[in-house]
């Protein structure tokens, strides 16, 4: 709560303005802390592993010096892996919160309503069956993700799109596309557990700079586009009519946000597989942490990055066996999904 | 905010998908006055309001704001002149009243938004006018229906538009809160000269608060003018398909409609509905 308790009457405009600035400062502070945490965990994931390298050795590698052992382990293994974790986490978080805000429902994240599954199914077909390059795979994944989004939208359309209908249809589409992934993996000639896990739950194993580069470009291009729509998206939460009367070009904003978010999902999925529930979890966690009333985009991107970084570290070192990152995020996300479904059911909503 | 804006619909035809709701309607809002639009369910009241707010493009005819085609004007420019409170806007979960009201400033901010002192002033004024200043730091979720409606009105006030359209601003409110909201809108109309148009369900409240009453019937203009002239038993029969007596309201002197249903009607009334009509014309004189 803020310093101003509700029982204080006759708040002046000055008080309101001050409280407002106070809230903004708090949000900025919390966002800053999230940013610092991302940097800290990123640094940690460069240092720890089979062999520990201190900050000075890691720094030397980052500067491009040749350090025996570290140059390979840190420069070629850990650095692309950690960078990929940050980029996929940010991309999933940003795209997820965009969908959740736009459709006014935390269940409406792209990994629940099948858009990630569309990208994943296309990517696995492109890589395993057609044996395309990673760039071509990204392109196929984007097209498939857009097509999936379009298909879900078309199937859910009847006198406008209702959030709950879209979500139910999306869940069905997701199940269908996930079975495509499973089918391709089972039928693949070179049966490979790593590949299978990557396309089923997402994994950062064997991350290379070749995979990181297209994703990095996508994030650098798409993130500012989405951030520029942050305020319009907030107003869309009131409903289309209210948003339009406040000067938001509703259709244009929605189209731009959907396309940009789908591009992010597709690139991230092509790089790492559909890391389970990151898009779904990042927004709601960010909302709890920074509080209501402002855009959640930057906090959700940071929470996403933090989630993937931490889950990947935990998956590698916290247990006796090594688990891909998606297994850990899946364990976190599934109970939350159940909780949300139970809560909406109890409150009488159809979803 | 001294110049008065004009908003009128000229021969508009409106509809959704394959359904035509409103046909060839002409209606001009009286500048600086309060207009109430009444009519039976599905007669097109809200549809007309939505077209005036630029939310629905007419199939034929034009909506004209200050001499320009409303649908050709930039969205943000329209939003600085014309505010709308839709029927059931949704407050984002957990949002604080002051933050929601602040969102009304959106049309006044550029792409690189800087919150200015003027924005602070507009928000403070809106909170003050609607009596929501003391709940400014509370979460919208925990407010009562009446308080919440005042907060939404505060948001459209922060938008500082000379024209204000409201779609059934009193639905879901108890009678005391209905009167409170309509009083508030009247205050606003008198203090700032804001032109107000609203769709109202309650005929009697519409007759009491309107400077000008517009009755729609099946998507066409049936009657428009001073409430005392418009609200007669004949009009009520034509528009709602219901018998009634219209008598002068002892509180306001405006006409008040007393419905005549099949039950709880005194025998003398059933035979003497004509008396009701004459009472209405007495109220009109």
User: In whole angstroms, what is the distance from residue A178 CA to residue A308 CA?
Assistant: 21
On average, the pLDDT of chain B sits at 88
Decide if A349 touches B, using CB distance below 8 A: no
pLDDT for position A193: 67
Q: What is the pLDDT of residue A336?
A: 82
Q: How confident is the model at residue B211 (pLDDT cuts 50, 70, 90)?
A: very high
Decide if pLDDT at B51 tops 50: yes
pLDDT of residue A1: 41
The reported pLDDT for the residue numbered A176 is 93
Q: A110: helix, coil or strand?
A: coil
A156-165, A240-249, A341-350: lowest mean pLDDT where? A341-350
Count how many pairs of residues, chain A against chain B, have C-beta atoms within 8 Å. Answer: 126
A230 touches chain B (CB under 8 A): no
A10 touches chain B (CB under 8 A): yes
Mean per-residue pLDDT of chain A: 85
Taking the Cβ of residue A343 and every Cβ of chain B, the question of whether any pair is shorter than 8 Å is answered with: no
B13 pLDDT more than 50: yes
pLDDT grade for B277, boundaries at 50, 70 and 90: very low
Binary contact (B111, A228; C-beta < 8 A): yes
Distance CA B112, CA B107 (A): 12
Name the residue among A6, A231, A240 with its Cβ closest to that of B137: A6
Confidence of residue B3 (pLDDT cuts 50, 70, 90): low
The residue assigned the tokens 């007759």 is B207
Lowest-pLDDT range of A80-84, B235-239, B273-277: B273-277
pLDDT of residue A50: 82
Residue A56 predicted with pLDDT over 50: yes
Higher pLDDT, A69 or B178: B178
Site of tokens 């520029």: A228
pLDDT at residue B112 in the model: 67
Which residues make beta-bridge pairs with B75? none
Given this model, what pLDDT does residue A8 score?
Answer: 43
CB contact under 8 A, A237 and B90: yes
Task: Tally the residues of chain B.
Answer: 285
DSSP state of B142: G
DSSP A126: I
pLDDT above 90 covers what percent of chain B? 60
pLDDT greater than 50 at residue B5? yes
Whether the per-residue pLDDT at A224 is higher than 90: the answer is: yes
Residue A237, pLDDT > 90, answer: no
A16:B120 CB<8 A: yes
For B242-272, what is each residue's pLDDT tens digit? 999 999 999 999 999 999 999 998 888 766 5
Amino acid A144: pLDDT: 92
B254-262: long-range pairs with CB below 8 Å, 24+: B254/B207, B254/B208, B254/B227, B254/B228, B254/B283, B255/B207, B255/B227, B255/B228, B255/B231, B255/B280, B255/B283, B255/B284, B256/B204, B256/B207, B257/B203, B257/B204, B257/B207, B257/B231
- Residue that wins the pLDDT comparison between B130 and B113: B130
Name the least confident of A6-10, A171-175, A178-182, A298-302.
Answer: A6-10
Whether A241 sits inside 8 A of B99 (CB atoms) is no
* Overall average pLDDT of the B211-229 stretch: 94
Mean pLDDT of B96-122: 86
Q: Could you identify the residue written with the tokens 């024209």?
A: B163
Residue B285 is predicted with a pLDDT of 39
Residues of B in contact with A16 (CB under 8 A): 98, 120, 123-124, 127, 133, 136-137
Q: Which of B192, B191, B131, B137 is nearest to B160 (CA)?
A: B192
pLDDT value, residue B199:
95
The whole-number pLDDT of residue A48 equals: 87
CA atoms of A333 and A303, how far apart (whole Å) = 14
Q: Which residues of A touch B134 (CB under 8 A)?
A: 6, 8-11
The predicted structure's pLDDT at residue A239: 86
Provide the pLDDT confidence category of residue A156 given band limits of 50, 70 and 90.
Answer: confident
User: Is the pLDDT reported for residue A345 higher than 70?
Assistant: no
Tell me which of A239 and B182 has the higher pLDDT. Answer: B182
Query: Is the model's pLDDT at A253 over the cut of 80?
Result: yes
Q: How much is the pTM? A: 0.85
Q: What is the pLDDT of residue A190?
A: 62
Q: Give residue B270's pLDDT.
A: 67
**Rounded to whole angstroms, what are the CA distances from A85 to A42, A81, A214, B77?**
9, 6, 14, 43
pLDDT tens for each residue of A273-298: 889 889 999 998 998 888 877 889 99
A157 touches chain B (CB under 8 A): no
| Residue A191: band (very low, low, confident or very high) from pLDDT cuts 50, 70, 90 | low
The reply to whether residue A17 touches residue B123, judged by beta carbons under 8 angstroms, is yes
- Averaged pLDDT, A101-116: 88
Choosing among B48, B74, B93, B103, which should be mutated to test the A contact, i.e. which has the most A CBs within 10 A? Answer: B103
- pLDDT for A189: 64
Q: Is A346 on the interface with B (CB under 8 A)?
A: no
Q: What is the ipTM of this complex?
A: 0.84
Task: Tell me if A247 and B75 make a contact (CB, 8 A cut-off).
Answer: yes
- Is the pLDDT at A31 greater than 90? The verdict is yes
Nearest residue on chain A to B120, alpha-carbon basis: A17
The span from the CA of B157 to the CA of A219, in Å, is 39
């Amino acid at each position: 709560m803020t310093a101003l308790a509700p029982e204080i009457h006759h708040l002046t405009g000055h008080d309101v303005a001050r409280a407002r600035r106070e809230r903004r400062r708090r949000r900025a502070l919390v966002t800053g802390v999230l940013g610092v945490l991302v940097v800290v965990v990123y640094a940690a994931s460069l240092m720890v592993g089979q062999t520990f390298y201190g900050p000075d050795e890691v720094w030397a590698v980052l500067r491009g010096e040749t350090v025996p052992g570290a140059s390979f382990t840190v420069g070629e293994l850990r650095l692309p892996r950690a960078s990929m974790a940050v980029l996929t986490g940010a991309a999933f978080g940003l795209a997820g919160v965009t969908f959740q805000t736009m459709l006014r429902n935390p269940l409406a994240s792209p990994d629940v309503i099948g858009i990630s599954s569309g990208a994943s199914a296309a990517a696995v077909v492109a890589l395993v069956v057609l044996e395309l390059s990673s760039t071509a795979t990204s392109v196929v994944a984007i097209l498939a993700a857009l097509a999936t989004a379009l298909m879900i939208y078309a199937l859910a359309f009847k006198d406008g799109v209702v959030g709950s209908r879209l979500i139910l249809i999306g869940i069905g589409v997701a199940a269908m596309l996930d079975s495509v992934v499973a089918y391709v993996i089972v039928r693949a000639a070179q049966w490979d557990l790593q590949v299978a896990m990557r396309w089923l739950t997402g994994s950062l194993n064997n991350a290379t700079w070749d995979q990181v580069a297209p994703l990095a470009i996508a994030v650098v291009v798409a993130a500012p586009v989405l951030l520029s729509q942050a305020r319009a998206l907030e107003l869309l939460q009131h409903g289309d009519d209210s948003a339009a009367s406040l000067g938001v070009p509703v259709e244009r904003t929605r189209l731009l946000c959907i396309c940009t978010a789908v591009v992010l999902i597709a690139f991230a999925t092509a790089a790492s597989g559909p890391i389970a529930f990151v898009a779904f979890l990042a927004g709601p966690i960010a909302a709890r942490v920074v509080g209501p009333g402002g855009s959640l985009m930057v906090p959700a991107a940071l929470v996403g990055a933090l989630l993937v970084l931490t889950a990947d570290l935990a998956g590698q070192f916290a247990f006796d066996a090594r688990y891909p990152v998606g297994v850990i995020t899946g364990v976190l996300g599934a109970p939350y999904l159940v909780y949300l479904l139970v809560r909406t059911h109890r409150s009488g909503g159809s979803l | 905010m001294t110049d008065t804006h004009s908003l009128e619909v000229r021969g508009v035809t409106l509809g959704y998908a394959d359904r035509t709701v409103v046909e060839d309607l002409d209606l001009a809002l009286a500048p600086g006055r309060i207009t109430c639009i009444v009519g039976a369910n599905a007669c097109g009241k809200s549809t007309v309001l939505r077209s005036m707010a630029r939310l629905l493009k007419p199939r034929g005819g034009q909506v004209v704001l200050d001499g320009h085609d409303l649908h050709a004007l930039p969205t943000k420019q329209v939003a600085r002149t014309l505010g709308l409170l839709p029927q059931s806007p949704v407050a984002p979960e957990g949002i604080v009243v002051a933050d929601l009201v602040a969102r009304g400033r959106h049309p006044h901010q550029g792409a690189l938004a800087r919150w200015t002192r003027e924005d602070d002033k507009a928000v403070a004024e809106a909170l003050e006018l609607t009596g929501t200043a003391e709940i400014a730091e509370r979460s919208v979720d925990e407010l009562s229906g009446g308080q919440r409606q005042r907060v939404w009105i505060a948001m459209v006030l922060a938008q500082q538009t000379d024209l204000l359209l409201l779609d059934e601003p009193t639905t879901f409110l108890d009678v005391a809160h209905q009167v409170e909201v309509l009083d508030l809108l009247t205050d606003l109309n008198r203090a700032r000269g804001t032109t107000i148009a609203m769709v109202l369900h309650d005929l009697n409240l519409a007759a009491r608060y309107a400077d000008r009453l517009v009755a729609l019937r099946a998507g066409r203009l049936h009657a428009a003018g001073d409430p005392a002239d418009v609200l007669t038993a004949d009009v009520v029969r034509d528009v709602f398909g219901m018998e009634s007596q219209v008598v002068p309201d002892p509180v306001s002197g405006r006409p008040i409609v007393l419905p005549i249903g099949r039950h709880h009607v005194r025998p003398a009334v059933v035979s003497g509905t004509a008396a009701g009509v004459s009472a209405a014309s007495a109220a009109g004189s």
